[in-house]
Amino acid sequence: MSLLRIDDLSLSIHGFDILKGVNLIIEPGEIVAVTGESGSGKSMTALAVMQLLPDGARTSGSIRLDGQEILTLPETRMCALRGAAVGMVFQEPMTALNPVKTIGDQVMETILIHKAMPPDQAEDRAREVLTRVGLPPDRFPLSRYPHELSGGQRQRVVIAMAIALRPKLLIADEPTTALDVTTQAQILDLLKGLVDEYGMGMLMITHDLAVVADMADHITVMRHGEVVEAAPTPQLLAGMKHPYTKMLFAASEHQVTLPEPLGQEPLLAVANVVRDYPLPRTRLFARPGQHRAVDHVSFTLHRGERLGLVGESGCGKSTLTRAILGLEPVQDGHILLDGQPVYTGNRPNLAVRRRMQVVFQDPYGSFNPRHRVDRLVTEPFFLLEKPPTGTERRDRIAEMLTAVGLSPDDAGKYIHEFSGGQRQRIAIARALITRPQLILFDEAVSALDVSVRAQILDLLAELCAAYDLTYLFISHDLSVVRTITDRVMVMQAGRIVEQGETEQVFSDPQHPYTEALIAAAPRLPRRRPMVAR
Amino acid sequence: MLRYSLKRALSLVLSLAVASLVIFAVIEVAPGDPASFMLGVNAQEDTLAALRAELGLDVSKTERYFTWVAGMLQGDFGVSYTYRTPVSKMVADRMWVSLPLALYALALSTAIAFPAGIYAASRRGKAGDVAVMGATQLGVAVPNFWFAMMLVLVFAINLRWFNAGGFAGWDKGIWAGLHSLTLPAVALALPQAAILARVMRSALLDILGEDFMRTARAKGLTRRQALWRHGVRNALIPVLTIIGLQFSFLLAGSIIIEQVFYLPGLGRLVFQSISSRDLIVVESVVMLLVFAVIMVNFLVDLAYAAVDPRLRSRT
């Protein structure tokens, strides 16, 4: 008997079909990965197993856990299963824990709510599982609150809560998507170890194919609520049958060819830049401490060059970006664009500022939803002394929308009418419309699905050829940086620890940190056709 | 936690110092000489001067300010120009009406609002929610003096359960006092409860959408358990803010209700002393109210920290 058996599961929410005839089997001790792009129904499949679907959900088909049908189970019985027989780990460790309760209380709650053991034993068990997930109580007392832990540590607490009662099935919904690569590698190791140790089955939901290939025994690929292909990992990697699967894997390894960089004329000169933030005073009359977010950073970006900046969260990437944009003063050093300072007195130097633009990560949050696309795209015109008007303005909008692969007619639409990828195209159009000398891409493709990401990378390569772009590409995603930049800088704790030709840095890293980063990043195995024996 | 409390206490003292300066300055620049007001327009110049000297108005402003503050610190608020009685006694008498009334109203409003808000949030979009929301809409819209009159009509005139007005005093026992404060407290509490219930509901609804509520459900908690164990405490921060604001309002802003029920409260005292230009009373009562408001804010700050550990460590 399989641990989990999903047969012909269909789900609709308020009449919208979300899942169509999904089949899936998990055996004890097996890791089954469900992958696909956003909207494929992978998370809904997981929530259906937990019966934590949103209001208005209707299901048909069958989900059997250990032979027991879940879909018809009354809610009280379901509550008894959740947390005890099935544990779940979520994507966002920063928000998955209750901020006002200690980690000990939260881990113990799983045990106590099921009345699995008396409180004193529950506390011992909490200590035990927290130790098992790498948070020994002598260093991480049960009285800690979630805000006193890092993202990776919080995810460990969430895992401890999920495994406290040794469930037979662990569901992990994008468990490492919000984490840095080195933390991701540790958490994946932990999950794998737990599956082996406890003989659990694991349903892992992730969009990251490299993680899938690395972790799963069995892969299920979903699109639009349907399973398009499912096979044991080696077979699937060796011989993908469905064109969508092939497209997904191709897209996540997508490479672009950038035009040759232009000459060696410096455009952006960053010299010895230091950015300190004051820390809260430790004592009333003590001098406040300083947090050095950017520590003597120097580099030069040449005209027509594509420079990458990689590093983990908190390394100072964003602070450096803001300093370059002139949004913040620096405590030491200087930042010059074409020989002029980006920040003068106590405000950004507007004459310089109008020659830079930025594209942000979140295609959903970075537009005012009440404005039409023409107004959104022309926002940088406010920086200009004489913004184009009338026909010229219209022509510029049309040209830019066409350049990013949209239609000039889209100018009259509102932002909610576009998909994430289209929005990012609009963001690029907005950045390009004043023909800035420098563009900063701050995690600009991180929130996109792999197929959309591949298209945006292609678009960038095309735009490089058409407009001789110079940009700084900030990302935590090494594979993207590798293909979209000529040179790369690796940042750690406010310092640039290594910089050089991108290919050179990636194939022969000099600094141990760069090496660790590259080693931690999950990679798709080289695919070879399986030889029939 | 201790450092957080000390910091809040320090800011409390500073706020009080600034407030006392502002109050003194504002009252000083207000036109009208108390002495000539008391003696009438035809008073002799030397009589006026004598009265000014008696009232302590003839010394420099700085000196007057410090005398005033030093007096207050010792519980001496001066003597009322018009009533010729110590202000501290007048205020204390009124305070024994206003403070219990405010606390009573606040307790009632909280007792109504919490269950109503939590109930509405847990039944979002269902009949129960619609009913509670409709009732609170009414409660927010209808002015409290109208409630007061309706209460008098129904419970005092028709049913004769309560007196229509007046205050029995505490010397006849705590129940007699509370009894005479009940109708005014209800009249004050209903609109406040309506607002508070709405705040509670929307704060809870925000929390119900949080990831950790889903985590709680995934652990095996029922909807109700998740709501009570993880929802309510997280929803308290905005609710505490409103409670703090409401208490300050109840203490000083109940003047209309005091008029309707003939209650000798602080609101009426301020009103009377302003109209008779009894500046020393106005100054003292305003200072006292400021003190109360700042004190309430201080307590609310402490309550925040008790509820949310993130505030404790941020200091």
Which CATH number characterizes residue A344's domain?
3.40.50.300
Mean pLDDT of A70-83: 92
Contact A100 B216 (CB under 8 A): no
- A256, A317 in Cβ contact below 8 A? no
Q: Tell me: the pLDDT tens digits for B64-104? A: 888 888 888 888 877 777 777 888 888 888 888 888 899 99
A184, A295: one domain? no
Six token digits for residue A317: 């990437």
A275, A241: one domain? no
**Which residues, listed in sequence order, are joined to residue A170 by a DSSP beta bridge?**
A87, A202
Contact list, A100 vs chain B (CB under 8 Å): 233-234, 307-309
Nearest 10 degrees: Cα torsion A123, A125, A127, A131: -170
A69, A177: one domain? yes
* B309: nearest CB among A82, A100, A113: A100
Which residue is closest to B212 within chain A, CA to CA? A96
- B212, A97 in Cβ contact below 8 A? yes
Non-local CB neighbours of A413 within 8 Å, separated by 6+ positions: A372, A373
pLDDT value of position B31: 64
Q: Which phi-psi region, left, alpha or beta, contains residue A494 (left: φ > 0; alpha: ψ -120 to 50)?
A: left
3-state secondary structure of A25: strand
B221 sits in which H/E element: none
Which residue is closest to A148 within chain B, CA to CA? B310
* A113: nearest CB among B219, B307, B314: B219
Kindly report the nearest CA distance between residue B211 and chain A, in angstroms.
Answer: 5
Q: Measured between alpha carbons, how far is B195 from A36 in angstroms, rounded to an integer?
A: 46
How far the first Cα of chain A sits from its last, in Å, is 31
Kindly report the nearest CA distance between residue B8 and chain A, in angstroms.
Answer: 12
A158, A274: one domain? no
3-state secondary structure of B16: helix
- In whole angstroms, how far apart are CA B104 and each of A10, A407, A448, B247, B308? 56, 65, 56, 10, 27
Q: Name the domain count of chain A.
A: 2
If you search the block for the tokens 């000459």, which residue do you land on? A263
- A441 within some domain: no
Mean pLDDT of A14-26: 92
If you search the block for the tokens 């007196």, which residue do you land on? B163
Q: Tell me: the pLDDT tens digits for B194-204? A: 999 999 999 99
- In whole angstroms, how far apart are CA A516 and each of A308, A353, A520, A523? 18, 36, 6, 14
Mean pLDDT of A249-253: 88
Q: Is A530 exposed, middle or buried (0-12, 13-18, 19+ CB in 10 A)?
A: exposed
The overall average pLDDT reported for chain A is 89
Q: Tell me: the pLDDT tens digits for A484-507? A: 999 999 999 899 999 999 999 999
pLDDT value of position B218: 93
* B214: nearest CB among A52, A75, A161: A52
Mean pLDDT of B296-305: 88
Which residue is closest to B234 within chain A, CA to CA? A100
Contact list, A82 vs chain B (CB under 8 Å): 217-220
In this complex, is the C-beta atom of A160 within 8 Å of any C-beta atom belonging to chain B? Answer: no
Q: Tell me: the pLDDT tens digits for B155-206? A: 888 887 887 777 777 777 888 888 888 888 898 899 999 999 999 999 999 9
A136 sits in which H/E element: none
* A161: nearest CB among B210, B219, B314: B219
Amino acid at A385: E
* pTM for the whole structure: 0.83
Taking alpha carbons only, the member of A192, A188, A172 closest to residue A180 is: A188
Contact B229 A75 (CB under 8 A): no
- A217 within some domain: yes
In this complex, is the C-beta atom of A482 within 8 Å of any C-beta atom belonging to chain B? Answer: no
A198, A347: one domain? no
Higher pLDDT, A167 or A92: A167
A271, A197: one domain? no
A127, A203: one domain? yes
Count contacts between A and B (CB, < 8 Å): 78
Q: Tell me: the pLDDT tens digits for A450-466? A: 888 898 899 999 888 88
- A225, A241 in Cβ contact below 8 A? no
pLDDT value of position A315: 87
A160, A210: one domain? yes
- A332 within some domain: yes
pLDDT value of position A528: 46
Which residue is closest to B310 within chain A, CA to CA? A147
Non-local CB neighbours of B223 within 8 Å, separated by 6+ positions: B122, B217
Contact list, A52 vs chain B (CB under 8 Å): 214, 217-218
> Domain of A84?
4-252
A36, A125: one domain? yes
Percent residues over pLDDT 90 in chain B: 23
* A109: nearest CB among B211, B219, B315: B219
A312, A206: one domain? no
How far the first Cα of chain B sits from its last, in Å, is 8
- In whole angstroms, how far apart are CA A408 and each of A413, A464, B51, B76, B236? 10, 21, 84, 78, 50
3-state secondary structure of A15: coil
Q: Tell me: the pLDDT tens digits for B131-155? A: 999 999 998 898 888 888 888 888 8
Domain B90-314 top-level CATH class: mainly alpha
Six token digits for residue A494: 């406010």
- A316, A295 in Cβ contact below 8 A? yes
Which residue is closest to A282 within chain B, CA to CA? B315
Q: Measured between alpha carbons, how far is A112 from A309 in angstroms, rounded to an integer?
A: 47
Q: Measured between alpha carbons, how far is B207 from B247 in angstroms, rounded to an integer?
A: 25
- A424 within some domain: no
Percent residues over pLDDT 70 in chain A: 97
Q: How confident is the model at residue A194 (pLDDT cuts 50, 70, 90)?
A: very high
Non-local CB neighbours of B232 within 8 Å, separated by 6+ positions: B118, B204
Six token digits for residue B57: 């108005």
Six token digits for residue B289: 């109210």
- A262 within some domain: no
Contact B229 A109 (CB under 8 A): yes
- In whole angstroms, how far apart are CA B32 and each of A191, A515, B55, B56, B276? 79, 81, 15, 16, 11
pLDDT at A529 over 60: no
In this complex, is the C-beta atom of A175 within 8 Å of any C-beta atom belonging to chain B? Answer: no
- A353, A326 in Cβ contact below 8 A? yes
Contact list, A162 vs chain B (CB under 8 Å): 218
The overall average pLDDT reported for chain B is 85
A158, A55: one domain? yes
Kindly report the nearest CA distance between residue B135 and chain A, in angstroms.
Answer: 26
Non-local CB neighbours of A390 within 8 Å, separated by 6+ positions: none
| Apex B286 CA angle, B285 and B292, nearest 5 | 90
In this complex, is the C-beta atom of A114 within 8 Å of any C-beta atom belonging to chain B? Answer: yes
A345, A209: one domain? no
* A98: nearest CB among B225, B234, B315: B234
